[in-house]
Chains A and B, each alone.
Chain A
Amino acid sequence: MNLSGLQLFTDAFAQGFALLSAGTLDLWQIIWTSLQVSGTATLIAVVIGIPAGYWLGSRRNVRRFTALVIANAGMGLPPIVAGLFVSMLLSRRGVFGDMGLLYTRNAIVIVQVVIATPVVVALTASGISAVPAQLRLQARSLGASRLQEILLAVREARLSILGAVAGGFGAVISEVGAVQMVGGNLAGSTQVMTTAIMQYTRMGRFGTAIALSVILLSLIILVNVIITYEQLRDERYTKALK
């Protein structure tokens, strides 16, 4: 065992923080690209996934079962497979080849939407289906319109839905294989945190890789802090006032 190898870590951390605090432009640009791309993808996945998940979670029939199986399986879809299919669709000989999307940020958004949507759908559906049907009948009998009934169910399931959004974002921000395939890791345009970390690690530039990893980890922790905070608030409020 080569204990002096540990110095790699201390050096890399020191260098990483130096890079970040110096505000090195290309480093922050990579971070910004990641946030933009994954933020957009999550937003689109939410716009598609929450209504779809609501529909799935509030129906009781065979079609729902089939769709739920697809959504749940979709959560386990290997991102690399999604990457393969999107690459084939966007490649020059592919169906959408003439749009010239491959190796652009939009290509990354597309593949991330494919990865995040099933997560949002499945988690939303499970949250909504936990809301008792009678609760909606109760709301209806108190004068809720159809839309107000839906809003009530969403409100009752808000923690699950928050989890669904965070789950979708978490899945895509830390994805690397599919993003590399369709985005190509082009410096200054399609390079995101994960692909950059991979590249800098290969090059032995551990400081830069560590700097990006710290940011990535912090983001994931931040998202989880928000969710846990909300969950605990719900719990506190369960126990409170009695």
Chain B
Amino acid sequence: MADFRVIGAHDSSYKIAASDLQLRYPGFTLDIEGFGIKTGEQLALLGPSGSGKSTLLMCMAGLEPADSGSVLLDGEPLTRSSAQRSIATVFQTPYLFKGTVGYNVSYGLRMRKRPATEIKARVAEVLQLVGLSNWEKRSILGLSGGEAQRVALARGLVLQPDIMMLDEPLSSLDEALRKTLSVEFSEILRDQKVTVLYVTHSKQEAFTVADSIAIMKDGQLLIHERSKNLFAEIDSVNAPHQQDWLRSFLAPDDWWLHMEEKR
């Protein structure tokens, strides 16, 4: 556990770290004492709906200002420009821009005013990576949900960001597709050796995608641990009632057993 606690905000081993982060909405408070992601770490941020996972992601991505506290990127306070340089995001709804697949995937490179030949080559390369080779000229409006998320992923990856932040990227897809895509996405992200923050409410997705897992509840971070040590480390969580909650939250889904009993 101590391995992942943010001891001081200036701990340089973290790629990105938040300390004493607070954000209040009516009926909700995000309160993060310390949270950091190491370079190359593939972290899944897990928790029930409304636990503040997405809000934390938005703060870490610099897209939503916190009321207080700080986010450090490479040890420096996060700014609009440093966030734009290092972080790419993918949201639950892909929010593709009107136009073609190529228009979308090349967007970030065009904003960076890269030469046209480089853009063309990079876009082709990344589209191949996400399994959409030669789709540049297709309209986004004919895409299925899964294809749209592939485009959204490509749109981020094309920038070769240090950090990819994905906010429930597969949640709007059907279950079968979610399974295949989570495996595929995790392989792509691993190959790119990018630091990952992957927000999800699905345990299965979290364990598929990530090598470490953080769990949130009611705006607070309960645990942040390597996936393989997660169950063992529940005992080191301070409050006993939180330990109980974590155990029941992580318990395998056994709805079909209940169905058997009913029969």
> Knowing A140-B84, A241-B138, A242-B142 touch, does A145 contact B95 (C-beta < 8 A)?
no
Q: Give the chain B neighbours of A240 by CB distance below 8 A.
A: 139, 141-142
Q: Give the chain B neighbours of A143 by CB distance below 8 A.
A: 84-85, 108, 111-112, 159
Is B87 interfacial (CB 8 A cutoff)? yes
Count of A-B contacts judged by CB separation below 8 Å:
63
Q: Give the chain A neighbours of B98 by CB distance below 8 A.
A: 155-156
Cβ–Cβ contact A142 & B63, under 8 A: no
Query: B-facing mask of A225-242, CB < 8 A → 1, else 0?
Result: 000000000000111111
Is B231 interfacial (CB 8 A cutoff)? no
Is A134 interfacial (CB 8 A cutoff)? yes
Residue of chain A at shortest CB distance from B152:
A138
Is A135 interfacial (CB 8 A cutoff)? yes
Cβ–Cβ contact A239 & B84, under 8 A: no
Q: Give the chain A neighbours of B143 by CB distance below 8 A.
A: 242
List residues of A (147-203) whose CB comes within 8 Å of B's CBs.
Answer: 148, 152, 155-156
> Knowing A138-B95, A139-B97 touch, does A239 contact B159 (C-beta < 8 A)?
no
Taking the closest CB of chain A, its distance from the CB of B190, in whole angstroms, is: 22
Q: Of B93, B138, B139, B142, which contacts A134 at CB under 8 A?
A: B93
Is A132 interfacial (CB 8 A cutoff)? yes
Cβ–Cβ contact B111 & A141, under 8 A: no
Taking the closest CB of chain A, its distance from the CB of B123, in whole angstroms, is: 13
Is A137 interfacial (CB 8 A cutoff)? yes
Which residue among B83, B142, B155 has the maximum number of chain A CB atoms within 10 Å of its CB? B142
Is A144 interfacial (CB 8 A cutoff)? yes
Bound-state CA distance A143–B155 (Å) is 11
> Knowing A143-B112, A145-B111 touch, does A239 contact B142 (C-beta < 8 A)?
yes
Cβ–Cβ contact B95 & A241, under 8 A: no
Q: Give the chain A neighbours of B111 by CB distance below 8 A.
A: 142-145, 148
Q: Interface size of A by Cβ–Cβ distance < 8 Å?
A: 22
Bound-state CA distance A30–B108 (Å) is 50
Cβ–Cβ contact B138 & A139, under 8 A: no
Cβ–Cβ contact A141 & B139, under 8 A: no
> Knowing A142-B107, A142-B108, A238-B141 touch, does A134 contact B91 (C-beta < 8 A)?
yes
Q: Of A135, A148, A155, which contacts B95 at CB under 8 A?
A: A135
Q: Give the chain B neighbours of A144 by CB distance below 8 A.
A: 107, 111
Bound-state CA distance A144–B107 (Å) is 9
Cβ–Cβ contact A140 & B63, under 8 A: yes
Taking the closest CB of chain A, its distance from the CB of B51, in whole angstroms, is: 20
Bound-state CA distance A142–B112 (Å) is 9
Is B195 interfacial (CB 8 A cutoff)? no
Is B156 interfacial (CB 8 A cutoff)? yes
Q: Give the chain B neighbours of A239 by CB distance below 8 A.
A: 141-142
Is B61 interfacial (CB 8 A cutoff)? yes
Cβ–Cβ contact B141 & A138, under 8 A: no
Bound-state CA distance A142–B91 (Å) is 12
Taking the closest CB of chain A, its distance from the CB of B36, in whole angstroms, is: 20
Taking the closest CB of chain B, its distance from the CB of A236, in whole angstroms, is: 10
The 5 closest A-B pairs by CB, nearest first: A242-B142, A142-B108, A143-B111, A141-B89, A138-B95
23 CB < 8 A contacts A-B: A132-B93, A132-B95, A134-B91, A134-B95, A135-B95, A137-B63, A140-B63, A141-B83, A142-B107, A142-B111, A142-B156, A143-B84, A143-B112, A143-B159, A144-B107, A145-B111, A155-B97, A237-B141, A240-B139, A240-B141, A241-B139, A242-B142, A242-B143
Interface positions of B (Cβ within 8 A of A) = 61, 63, 80, 83-85, 87-89, 91, 93, 95, 97-98, 107-108, 111-112, 138-139, 141-143, 155-156, 159
